[in-house]
Amino acid sequence: MTDRNHIPQEDLALYAMQTLPQEESVAIRTHLATCALCRDELAELSGDLAMVALSVEQHPVPDGARERFLDRVAASSPAANQKATEVQPGPWMREQQARSPLAWLPWVAVAALVIAVVSLDVKNNSLHEQLRNQSGVMDQLVTKTSHAQQVLEVLTAPSAQRATLTASKAPVAPTGRAVYLADRGGLIFQANNLDPLPANKTYELWVVPANSPAPIPAGLFRPDAAGTASVVLPPLPKGVPAKAFAITIERAEGSATPTAPIILSGAASGT
């Protein structure tokens, strides 16, 4: 605008982006309270800035762009500066000679700087969220890999004790095989042809230590429809060599000591 009674468009744009000195902002707010035309112009500029912020795709600034822009500002013609000086927007504005060069940059250029900052912040937050998600996936993979490594070590360790558990009398004999690594407390047990149990009963696996008469409970299990069941890496103390392994039938919650009769039993190798 060129009317001395209204605020120039570039000053309204700078005001909308909160880049004017405090005294000029106060003067413009005072004018806006009584000027509907300038209020409408400010609303339109604010809407344009919002649309630019939402729609402009950000690209890296080309090499040398800053130097070319400053050279263009320095090369502005005296006639253009004289024409701008002749416009007297009102008492709220300081003399143009006293304003810093940045205050007279086109408002679109300033808006582009604002958009670049907002875009970088959004991209930074997005990258942080992706890193958190990837970290969670990696934690799950590490846990699964660790468990698989423990199973492999128990099954393949030369010092692992092995046993085959059989029933003394049965038409179809249930069997069980145990692989036990004493120094790690790792036990893997597989049973076949087990009889089904009522809902209030369960099978319980026991480790009979070589240096103690008290069996150690090694896990509860119930067979599937085919009579198959397994116990993999139950929590056991480390460094306890086994003399034998046994299976009993206990209450659904298990027992701290075996209940007779022993359904399956077998001596550990090397004992």
**Cα 138–chain centre separation:** 10
Please state, in angstroms and rounded to a whole number, the distance separating the CA atoms of residues 253 and 157.
Answer: 32
Domain ranges of the chain: 9-123, 161-267
Q: Exposed, middle or buried: residue 175 (CB in 10 Å: 0-12, 13-18, 19+)?
A: middle
Q: What is the pLDDT of residue 68?
A: 64
Q: Which of 182, 146, 184, 192 is nearest to 162 (CA)?
A: 182
Residue with tokens 């900052």: 117
Domain boundaries 161-267, corresponding CATH code = 2.60.40
Q: What is the 3-state secondary structure (H, E, C) of the chain?
A: CCCCCCCCHHHHHHHHCCCCCHHHHHHHHHHHCCCHHHHHHHHHHHHHHHHHHHHCCCCCCCCCHHHHHHHHHHCCCHHHHHHHHHCCCCCCCCCHHHCCHHHHCCHHHHHHHHHHHHHHHHHHHHHHHHHHHHHHHHHHHHHHHHHHHHHHHHHHCCCCEEEEEECCCCCCCCEEEEEEEHHHCEEEEEEECCCCCCCCEEEEEEEEECCCCCCEEEEEECCCCCCCEEEECCCCCCCCCEEEEEEEEEECCCCCCCCCCEEEEEECCCC
- Residue type at position 73: V
* Chain centroid to CA 67: 42
Written as tens digits, the pLDDT of the chain (271 aa) is 335 678 888 788 888 777 788 888 888 988 988 998 888 888 887 776 666 555 555 555 566 665 665 566 566 544 444 444 443 445 554 444 444 444 444 555 555 565 665 566 666 677 777 777 887 888 888 888 888 888 888 888 889 888 888 766 656 789 999 999 999 999 999 999 999 999 999 999 999 999 988 999 999 999 999 999 999 999 999 999 999 999 999 999 999 999 999 999 999 987 6
Task: Give yes or no for a contact between 226 and 239, defined as CB atoms under 8 angstroms apart.
Answer: no
Q: How many CB atoms lie within 10 A of CB 19?
A: 16
Strands 201-209 vs 186-192: parallel, antiparallel or unpaired: unpaired
Gap between the Cα atoms of 8 and 89, Å rounded: 6
Give the model's pLDDT for residue 53: 56
pTM over 0.95, yes/no: no
Length of the chain as a residue count: 271
Residue with tokens 């086109």: 106
- pLDDT score, position 79: 45
Confirm if 91 and 6 have CB atoms less than 8 A apart.
no
Which residue do the tokens 């103390």 mark? Answer: 237
Are the C-beta atoms of residues 216 and 205 closer than 8 Å to each other?
A: no
